[in-house]
Structure 1
Amino acid sequence: MSVFDIFTTAFLIGMIGFWLLWPVSILRRDTSIVDFWWGPGFVAVIGASWWMAGASLTGAGPLIVGLVAIWGLRLGVVLGARRLREGEEDPRYQDIRAAREPGFWWKSLFIIFTLQGVIQFILASGAVAAVVMGRDALGPLAAFGAIAAVLGAVIEARSDYQLDLFKRSHPHGKLLTTGLRSHVRYPSYAAEILFWAGIAAIAVDAGIWWAPVCTLLLIALLMWISGVSVLDQRLTDTRPDYAAYKARVPALLPRLSSLTGRVGTAKPRQ
């Protein structure tokens, strides 16, 4: 099977997952279920690529597939359970729906589901290239990348746990500012960047020199397109105490004083 065929098939596998969710979103009137396939879709795309390339047990393939499986399947379960528990469309998607009516039901196929599939494959492309074309011999950079990816996955899991615990025990509208969120406003985003930076490091060690571009695109996406900027605006408009929190706590990169505890008194973790 040629490299082109592997990339094309992997892309279609990711897209089919999103397209299958589209009619479900119409029935539920909830396009935020697109998030169900975000993590598992990466597992499917990268895992299928590795399998089609021969599923070698040496080199970057098994390492990347294993790390992405741990990260992606956990994320899928967490986001899926969150959507079912909350029972309504995420406010970010509510805003998109309101801006695209009438006819949002069919527009969502392109501007939500298909677009996410394209973005997912672009972000996964460095890892796909590594498991398909990467060299077998790996060095210290791959070990460093694996450690960074594991750390990112652990921090993201901790962040999601703290947020879900807070939502279950506090009234709607309250702002979580303790735990990891006393250091950065969006620890899940920061951890996801760390995870994919680790995967990119493994890919570079395998000979895919351009893999970090995928991580840079992820940073741009989370900072200015669908993440920090959008949530900052919505929370500023809806939470009266958010402006002060935003001025005090950085978005993604913690301040050294925050980590060492030299300034202020640390709040109890959630």
Structure 2
Amino acid sequence: MSSTFVSVAAQGLLIAVVLGVLTWLCSLPTRDASLADRVWSAFIAIPAGLYVWRFGTDTRTLVMVSLIVVWALRLGLYVTLRNWGHGEDRRYQAIRARNQPGFALKSLWLVFLLQAVLGWIVGWPVLAAIGPDRTDWSAWDAIGAAIAAMGLLMEAVADAQLTRFRRARGTADRVLDTGLWRWSRHPNYFGECCLWWGLGLMALSAGGLGAAWSLASPVLMTVLLLRVSGVSLLEQDIGDRRPAYRDYIARTSAFIPWPPKRGRSP
């Protein structure tokens, strides 16, 4: 790797860290560490924009950055509108309770700087695709772009279905099991993973095995969504809060969309 490439990568990390510190400062008077969720997509998109600005665009990086910008704007707006006026998310309330006293300061590295670094890593496919030895657009790029676009669309549709369900009356004790949610308990997370695996494939198309390090992005995102902040965390106690969810778990795939098991229909 050239010194210029390393320097630009470091600048991307610095931008993410600065954004994390600024968001942390905003969280202090409101006592709302879940502000990190609202800027999560910016931790990824802004450094990606820097990379293509410094090295220029070709068909591949233009497609990649366009997908990331659309994803970032949609997700950032969706999370902001969903959480507006509701105070700190209960997941962050639990983190706050576990890290008292002094969580206000601890949240700087436990929440904001951690997410800044993770977001920077997730953006590595674009960094790999701008390398000096990148190849021309190929069929693998088309396949990767199609997977990423499909994932972006699935995530958006799943979130829209969930929003409509939550706004309907009489759904407090019910479970969303129609639309994409009939086939997967977390179709939005599956769509998110498809996005990053598709972009990872495009990075490999650009740099071959020399760009394999960028697959840390989809691997990290998959682990986060399955084992850390996604499926595992959300389903820890949902069966106690919503008994109908237990039957939903028994008949519905946790992640990969799959026909529901027969004989388990509500």
Provide the residue aligned with 2:14 in structure 1: 12
What is the TM-score normalised by the length of structure 2? 0.90
Provide the residue aligned with 2:238 in structure 1: 235
Q: CA RMSD in A?
A: 2.1
Provide the residue aligned with 1:146 in structure 2: 145
For 1:31 and 1:237, locate their aligned partners in 2 and report how far apart those are by CA, in whole Å: 26
Q: Which letter does structure 2 place at the counterpart of 1:235?
A: I
Q: Which letter does structure 2 place at the counterpart of 1:32?
A: S
Q: Which letter does structure 2 place at the counterpart of 1:65?
A: V
- 1:134 CA drift (Å): 5.5
- Residues 212-223 of structure 1 aligned to structure 2 (within 5 Å): 212-223=215-226
Partner-residue secondary structure (3-state), 2:202? helix
Q: How many residues align?
A: 260
Tell which deviates more after alignment, 204-213 or 109-118. Answer: 204-213
- Residues 8-47 of structure 1 aligned to structure 2 (within 5 Å): 8-47=10-49
- Residues 94-133 of structure 1 aligned to structure 2 (within 5 Å): 94-133=93-132
- 1:136 CA drift (Å): 4.2
Residues 142-169 of structure 1, C-alpha deviation per residue, up to 9 Å, x if partnerless? 0011111111111111111111112222
Tell which deviates more after alignment, 203-212 or 146-155. Answer: 203-212
Residue 199 to residue 141, structure 1, CA distance change in 2 (3 Å): same
Given that residues 185 and 254 in structure 2 are in contact (C-alpha distance below 8 angstroms), is that contact kept between their aligned partners in structure 1?
A: yes
Tell which deviates more after alignment, 152-161 or 118-127. Answer: 118-127
Gaps of 5+ in 2: none
Given that residues 149 and 195 in structure 2 are in contact (C-alpha distance below 8 angstroms), is that contact kept between their aligned partners in structure 1?
A: yes
For 1:145 and 1:102, locate their aligned partners in 2 and report how far apart those are by CA, in whole Å: 46
What is the TM-score normalised by the length of structure 1? 0.89
Provide the residue aligned with 1:251 in structure 2: 254
- Counterpart among 209, 228, 232 of residue 225 in structure 1: 228
Given that residues 61 and 132 in structure 1 are in contact (C-alpha distance below 8 angstroms), is that contact kept between their aligned partners in structure 2?
A: no
- 1:172 CA drift (Å): 4.2
Tell which deviates more after alignment, 210-219 or 12-21. Answer: 210-219
Residues 23-76 of structure 1, C-alpha deviation per residue, up to 9 Å, x if partnerless? 2212222111111111132110111111112x23x2522121111111111111
Provide the residue aligned with 2:87 in structure 1: 88
Q: Which letter does structure 2 place at the counterpart of 1:119?
A: L
Q: Which letter does structure 1 place at the counterpart of 2:179?
A: G
Given that residues 14 and 121 in structure 1 are in contact (C-alpha distance below 8 angstroms), is that contact kept between their aligned partners in structure 2?
A: yes
Residues 203-227 of structure 1, C-alpha deviation per residue, up to 9 Å, x if partnerless? 1110123333321221111111111
Q: Which letter does structure 2 place at the counterpart of 1:153?
A: L
